[in-house]
Structure 1
Amino acid sequence: MSTDRPLRHNRDFVLLWSGSAVSIAGSTASTVAVPLLVLAVTGSAGAAGLAGFAALLPLLVLPVPAGVLVDRYDRKRLMLWCDVVRGLGAASIVLASVLGRLTLTQIVLVGLVEGSLSVVHELAGHAAVPNLVPDGRLTEALSLAEARERGATMLGTPLGGVLFGLARALPFLFDAVSYLVSAVTLLLIRKDFQRPGDAAPGQPREPALPQLAAGFRWLWRQPFLRTASLAVAGSNLLFRALFLAVLVLSRTLGASPAAIGVLLGVAGAGGLLGSLAASWCQRRLPLRTVVIGANWVWAVLALGIAATRDLYLLGALYALMWFVGPIWNVAVATQQLRTTPDHLQGRVLGASALLSGGALPIGSLAGGLLLQYAGTATTLAVLAGWMVLLAAAVSLAAPVRRLADPRPEPDPETPHALPTPR
């Protein structure tokens, strides 16, 4: 595939990108509406927490088995079935709500099913990207995917509240329609989501159980990717704990709930801008520089957050942390997708997702305990110290220091750029 053609003219990528954007917005809207719906139906905050836990549980237990499915079966067909079943689940909430027969059990089960299928859908879509775009456009494609996710989430979050205010069933109707749109865009895609010979449904395969560890085995044998995965897990501990600490500090500094919402919105905008800048940075900065530099920028910003007592400065520093995140994500994901064999993409992505996502609940628990028993100032100091140590460890890690950077990708503005060799 030639890299001459801008991605906006890549019909299959645009279809995948746009369909996923709509479905992410729909999922976000319904996710916002679920606790509101549970509170309206049951009046119980505990029940609302249970519904949220059911929807998030698959993120902790399913990435690895989902990766096996993504490598074992046709990815496009898997994504289509995920959209169909998720759409039916959302539609069932609409129907039960209209008929006045909605129960907590149904909400929890639908959330569990939708969360599980979303893990499979996301892994399959991510693994398909290298087969839809030229290698020289992979970073640009991943940068646009980051922007899509952050932009759709920013749109879906307020939309869920607005639609719920108009009618309880509306966010879930929007969610159901969004899955229909995603399914139609998938049907219109012409290219294969797997390389020839890597996805032959019905072909005898190794039993599924031994395949669960294949992604971890392969990842662990790649020195740089192993180091990067451990660094992501370590930084995610910080980010989740820091999220709670920033909320508490904001309230201590006199911020109203509305002001806190604005602060988080500015942080989200920082993440969106970072995703749009990721491709530009990838073309101009060596991978080693991005990996080491991002960790030190986070360390400096964490120290600044620990020291500041100004609400506006706090918001600016936190938004900068969000800005750097996508630049790191795109750089590391590009390297991982380029070096992972196609028949292992799903399992390696699942292993990476488990390492990174599994750190989030631990960070949330650790941050909550620190805030409760040590106070806000001590918690922020501990988190900043942790990030400094992590940045130093990444800087000294031999796989990062010895990393041989690939040739930079061609600039999209260059009309006759040569493709980067694999």
Structure 2
Amino acid sequence: MTDKVPPLLRNRDFLLLWQGSAVSSLGSNASTVAYALLVLALTGSPADAGFTGFVALLPQLLFQLPAGALVDRWNRKRAMIWCDVLRGLTVGSVAAALLAGHLYLAHVLVAGFVEGTLTVCFRIAASAAVPNVVHPSQLALALSRNEARARGAAMLGQPLGGVLFGLGRAVPFLFDAFSYLVSLGALLMIRKDFQVERPAQPGRPGRLGQLGQLGVEIGEGVRWLWRQPFLRTTTFLIAGSNLLFQALFLTVLVSARRHGGSSAAIGVMFGVAAVGGVVGSLVAPALERRLLMKVVVIGANWAWALLVPLLLVVRNPYLIGAVYALMCFVGPVWNVVISAYQLAVTPDRMRGRVLGAAGMVAFGAVPLGSLIGGLLLSRYGADTTVWLLAGWMALLAVVSTVSPAVRAAPGLTEATPLEPQSATAR
């Protein structure tokens, strides 16, 4: 019975996973701001900064599918441990090169690409593990706490990145490398398995080969996701909004710089925005119980469409942060509701592949947003770029409103694991 389930705050393994990831996210947010500031300092080019972000985020497009399939094959906890080790070494190499005075743009691009690839694998494994660490009745609550963790890390980490960069260019990257060690230590202390017991594989595939078999497994996850109308539609809507927000991030950063914003002020600006995300994360479980999923999807898209144009009339970094805070308040509610439903209906044995397929579309738009944002800023300037992005968000809001899949969205209480046969029988 649900009333006999211990409170989430007494779940030792969830707390270890949460705390380790919180410190790691804090370091990653600090280095994200520092990367953009570093490239602008090295080259003075918004296009270079946009291209650097594109390369660092390109693995979100390239490796979601194979990473998801491998996460379903491998021990998820062991995969996350290795990702932390290698990410720490990678970001540490950037700090070492800065301290030695021999950092080049090519090094930044390679380090960003490698770290981004490992992050894809870590994120999928961590997301797939949550239903195996918490009770099903606490899934939405656990996801809301993870959202609060991510938003809180952004609130503290982004201003911290600006401050640390002001102390020394290598400092935020040293801090990020240390954060991966903390995450590693937390993972090593977790007792629970991150997946259900899997049946033994009946030998290795024959002529098809391991690579071909991986392709078959990936295809199974892609087909399963495609046959879920609501998840398919929301995945593409998430991709559209992710593209917008990544382009908007660079637009706001450049605009604040041109209006005299210091590195610390820019960090505080994004920190103020993250406050809205933290508040949204805390209220997400209550809203999830009271709002239909279609209300969340349609309402979130229209809220963003109305808020983006406000960036044309505010110039002060702190006012920009306040507008961002309103945007970020909406995001956690969307994420908790959609993620809880997706995790609840996806069989554990293919959860990594489904998350990878959804992530390829949703997060694959992020590097494109960084590239597009840099190109638009270089050609048209900040104001025109904001107008174009506002039009894009308005289009997404209209699509969400008229979509039959969204309007007929099921309730989260109806969510039970759907095997591939059930999905095919539509």
Structure 1-normalised TM-score? 0.82
Corresponding residue number in structure 1 for 2:87: 86
Tell me how far 1:394 sits from its aligned partner: 1.4
* Count of aligned pairs: 405
Distance (Å, rounded) in 1 between the aligned partners of 2:384 and 2:361: 27
Q: For residues 259 and 95 of structure 1, what CA distance do their matches in structure 2 show?
A: 27
Q: 1:399 and 1:36, CA in 2 relative to 1: closer, same or farther beyond 3 A? A: closer
TM-superposed deviation, 1:81: 1.2
Q: SS of 1:346's equivalent? A: helix
Alpha-carbon offset, residue 319 of structure 1: 2.1
Which residue of the partner structure matches residue 179 of structure 2? 178
Give ranges in structure 1 of 5+ residues lacking alignment.
Answer: 409-419
Q: Which residue of 1 aligns with 2:147?
A: 146
**SS of equivalent to 2:60:** helix
| Residue in structure 1 matching 2:286, options 280, 299, 304 | 280
| One-letter amino acid matched to 2:289 | R
Q: Percent identity?
A: 53
For residues 184-263 of structure 1, the aligned pairs below 5 Å read 184-197=185-198, 204=204, 207-244=213-250, 246=252, 256-257=261-262, 261-263=267-269
Q: 2:397 aligns with which of 378, 391, 401?
A: 391
Q: 1:217-366 to 2 correspondence within 5 Å?
A: 217-244=223-250, 246=252, 256-257=261-262, 261-302=267-308, 304-305=310-311, 308=313, 315-366=321-372
Q: Distance in 2 between matches of 1:144 and 1:284?
A: 18
Deviates more, 1:202-211 or 1:31-40: 31-40
| Contact residue 94 and residue 172 of structure 1 kept, 8 A | yes
The alpha carbon displacement at 1:54 in A equals: 4.5
Distance 2:314 2:40 in 1: 35
Residue of structure 1 equivalent to 2:156:
155
> Structure 1 residues 362-371 or 335-344, which shifts more?
362-371
AA in 1 matched with 2:395: L
Q: Deviations over 1:382-420 (max 9, x none)?
A: 443433332232122222222231339xxxxxxxxxxx9
2:134 paired residue number? 133
Distance change (3 Å), C-alpha of 1:403 and 1:364:
same
3-state secondary structure, aligned to 2:363: helix
The equivalent residue for 1:119 is 120
- The answer for the alignment partner of 1:402 in structure 2 is 408
Shift of 1:82: 1.2
Output one character per residue of 1:291-350: Cα deviation in whole Å (capped at 9) or x when no partner. 1221222223235556x4685775543321121111111111111111111121111111
Partner of 2:9: 8
- Alpha carbons of structure 1 residues 178 and 313: separation in structure 2 relative to 1, 3 Å: closer
Asked if 2 retains the 8 angstrom alpha-carbon contact of 1:73 and 1:201, the reply is no
Q: Is the 8 A contact 1:74 1:201 kept in 2?
A: no
Instruction: Indicate conservation of the 8 Å contact 2:61/2:365, yes or no.
Output: no
Gap change, CA 1:192 and 1:247, over 3 Å in 2: closer
Matched-pair contact (CA < 8 Å) for 2:67–2:120: yes
Cα distance in 1 between the residues matched to 2:307 and 2:266:
19
Q: Answer yes or no: is the 8 Å Cα contact 1:29–1:157 preserved in 2.
A: yes
Q: CA, structure 1 residues 336+159, in 2 after alignment: closer, same or farther (shift >3 Å)?
A: same
8 Å Cα contact 2:250-2:370 kept in structure 1: yes
1:181 aligned partner, one-letter code: V
- Residue by residue over 1:208-231, the C-alpha shift from the partner in whole angstroms, topping out at 9 and shown as x without a partner, is 123333332211100100111111
CA contact (8 A) 1:29 1:156 kept: yes
CA–CA distance in structure 1, aligned partners of residues 89 and 379 of structure 2: 45
Does the 8 A contact of 1:30 with 1:160 survive in 2? yes
Alignment match, 2:420: none
Q: Any conservation in 2 of the 1:236–1:360 contact (CA below 8 Å)?
A: yes
Corresponding residue for residue 417 of structure 1: none
Q: Is the 8 A contact 1:72 1:201 kept in 2?
A: no
Q: What is the letter of the counterpart of residue 411 of structure 2?
A: D
Distance in 1 separating the partners of 2:89 and 2:322? 42
Alpha-carbon contact 1:247-1:260 (below 8 Å) kept: yes
* Structure-2-length-normalised TM-score: 0.81
Following superposition, the deviation at residue 129 of structure 1 comes to: 0.3
Aligned to 2:421: none
Q: Distance in 2 between matches of 1:250 and 1:174?
A: 25
Question: AA paired with 2:334?
Answer: W
Residue 75 of structure 1: aligned partner = 76
Aligned-partner residue type, residue 60 of structure 2: L
